Amino acid sequence: AQSVTQPDIHITVSEGASLELRCNYSYGATPYLFWYVQSPGQGLQLLLKYFSGDTLVQGIKGFEAEFKRSQSSFNLRKPSVHWSDAAEYFCAVGPYSGGGADGLTFGKGTHLIIQP
């Protein structure tokens, strides 16, 4: 069965500092990998996705993620965070970009706190 692990429940970063959020997955085949962001009281917004090709993927809001097959990881990075980046971040895995009949499997999320 597929699973997603986000080892860090909370991360605190100073504004302007770099950020890396960790994600490890378990999946039987080549999956689609996603990072979503959720602000309080909001739904999920897609930051980026990966299926194949260049293992470094660029997303919106200055985020990027690197796929490492050997480590089953898909870590999210940003060189310089802004106070508006404070939110909950979810890593997800699925068989198709749109989820398909099995849907997407999400991690439990990482809560990002930005210090002034």
The residues that touch another protein, with contacts defined as CB under 8 A, are: 4, 34, 36, 41-46, 49, 90, 92, 95-109
Shortest spacing between CB 105 and another protein, in angstroms: 7
Shortest spacing between CB 68 and another protein, in angstroms: 21
Please, are residues 9 and 107 in contact by the beta-carbon 8 Å criterion? no
Nearer of residues 45 and 84 to another protein, judged by Cβ: 45
Shortest spacing between CB 31 and another protein, in angstroms: 14
Nearer of residues 11 and 15 to another protein, judged by Cβ: 11
